[in-house]
Amino acid sequence: MKILVIRLSAMGDVAMSVPVFKTLSEQHSNDDFYLITNKLFNPFFSDIRNLTLINPDLKEKHKGIKGLFQLYKKIKKEINPDIVVDIHDVLRTKIIRFFFRLSGTKSVKINKGRKEKRQLTRRKNKILKPLKHTVTRYKEAFLKAGIFIELHPYSVPEFKVNSFELKKLLHGNNKKIGIAPFAKHPQKQYPINKTEALIQKLTDENYKIFLFGGGKKEKYIAENIAGKNPDVTSLVGKFPLEEEIAFINQLDAMITPDSGNMHIAALTSVKIISIWGATHPFAGFTPYIPDEQFHIIQNNNLSCRPCSVFGNKPCYKNTIECLQLIDSEEIIKICKKITD
C-alpha cells in the first residue's frame, strides 16, 4: 500500500513525527510511505528505510491553490497513493486533501483537540489536565486510515560527527552543555539577559557552552554572547542540521525553551533541561522520550499560564512573569545533578 502523509511544519511538530515513522517502517515494512514536508527537515528521517520525502516549493512553484494543484497532479501521476493521512490539518493541507478526495483517494486527518486546548489556555476557569500527546494524535490519525502501530520507546540512531572542526570542540574533560536560547515567540524564550547570566554562572562552574539557533538575528546575538566568554562557542549558522544533531548527541546536557531545538535534541540521547513560559507541557508537545532524559522547569504559581498553546499570544499582563520569575539557580541545580 502507498500512504501519503502531510506535515509541512513546524520544526518541532515534524521532529515529533520521527518516532511514528520509525515504528511504521518497522511494523509495516511492506508498505511505502511518502511524506510531504519542508526540505530543511529531511535530516530527521535519514535512517528510515521505506519513507520517501517530498519537498514542495511553497514560496514559488507550489504557492497558492494553483501551485498546490500542480503538486497534487505530480504526486497523483508519479505515486498515486492509496490513502492520504494529514497530520497537520491547516489550510494548505486541507486543499491538498480536497484535490485527492475529488479524484477518489480516501483521506483522513489528525484530531488536534482544539476544544480542550482552548479550555487549557483560556483566561478564566482553565481546565488544567494533561491532554493527549501529539505523537498519540499522530498514531490515531494512522489508525483512522486502518494502519495500526504499537509505539515503542524511540531508538536513537548512531549519529556520527563528521566535521573536523566539531570533533575538536568535543576534546577536553570539561562537561559540555548546549544552550538554544531562542524561540519563535518572546513568550517562550528565557530572557537574553537572564540567559547571559546563566551562561556566566555555568562557565564559572567549569562548563563549556555551545549555542544553537538559526537566522541572522540569532547568529548576531549568539556571537555577541560568545565574544564575551572564551568558554562559549556559537554554532549558529555554521554547520548543516545533520552535523548539529550529531554534535548535540555528544553533549552532556541541552538547555532549551519549548522550541524546535528542544525536539531536535529529543532525537538524540542527550539529557534535556526544558524551560517553559507561556506554554505548558499539558498541551501535549513535550518530547517523546523517557522521563529520566527530560527535565521541566516552569513557574507553577501563576494562574495566568498557560495563556496559549503555541506561545504566540502577547502577554496580557505585559510582564512575561512566567519566564522572568524563573531563577537561573534552579536551572544550574538540575544541570549539576544530571551531569555529575
- One-character DSSP codes across 136-199: HHHHHHHHHTT------PPPPP------HHHHHHT-SSS-EEEE----SSGGGSPPHHHHHHHH
Tell me the per-residue pLDDT of 76-117, one tens digit each, with 9 for 90 and over: 999 999 999 999 999 999 999 999 999 999 999 999 999 999
Helix (H, G, I), strand (E, B), or coil: what is residue 92? helix
Give the strands of the sheet with 106-109, arranged side by side.
51-54, 32-36, 2-6, 83-86, 106-109
| Interacting residues of 333 by C-beta distance below 8 A, sequence separation 6+ | none
Predicted pLDDT of residue 152 = 85
257, 274 Cβ separation under 8 angstroms = yes
34, 3 Cβ separation under 8 angstroms = yes
- Tell me how far apart the alpha carbons of residues 293 and 42 are, in angstroms, rounded to a whole number: 25
**For the residues 10-25, what does the mean pLDDT come to?**
97
Cell digits of residue 332: 544550574
Predicted pLDDT of residue 113 = 98
Predicted pLDDT of residue 316 = 95
Is residue 189's pLDDT more than 90?
yes
Instruction: Please compute Rg for the chain using Cα positions.
Output: 21
Tell me the per-residue pLDDT of 110-141, one tens digit each, with 9 for 90 and over: 999 999 999 999 999 999 999 999 999 999 99
Strand partners, 32: 2
Is residue 184's pLDDT more than 90?
yes
From the candidate CATH numbers 1.20.140.10, 3.40.50.2000, 3.30.70.270, 2.30.30.60, the one assigned to the domain spanning 2-144: 3.40.50.2000
Nearest Cα to Cα of residue 259 among 331, 311, 195, 200? 311
HSE-up (13 A, CA, CB side) for residue 73: 8
Cell digits of residue 117: 486546548
Tell me the per-residue pLDDT of 327-339, one tens digit each, with 9 for 90 and over: 999 999 999 999 9
Is residue 194's pLDDT more than 90?
yes
How far is residue 104 from each of residues 28, 41, 63, measured CA to CA in Å?
24, 30, 24
Predicted pLDDT of residue 104 = 98
Strand partners, 296: 274
Tell me the per-residue pLDDT of 269-323, one tens digit each, with 9 for 90 and over: 999 999 999 999 999 999 999 999 999 999 999 999 999 999 999 999 999 999 9
Q: Where are the domains of the chain?
A: 2-144, 164-339
pLDDT band at 243 (very low <50, low <70, confident <90, very high): very high
Q: Do domains 2-144 and 164-339 have the same CATH topology?
A: yes
Predicted pLDDT of residue 218 = 98
Predicted pLDDT of residue 154 = 79
212, 244 Cβ separation under 8 angstroms = yes
φ, ψ of residue 176 to 5 degrees: the values are -115, 125
> What's domain 164-339's architecture?
3-Layer(aba) Sandwich (3.40)
Judge if pTM exceeds 0.75. Answer: yes
Nearest Cα to Cα of residue 258 among 12, 7, 5? 12
203, 211 Cβ separation under 8 angstroms = no
Predicted pLDDT of residue 156 = 87
Tell me the per-residue pLDDT of 24-74, one tens digit each, with 9 for 90 and over: 999 999 999 999 999 999 999 999 999 999 999 999 999 999 999 999 999
Predicted pLDDT of residue 155 = 82
Hunting for cell 501563576 — which residue is that? 302
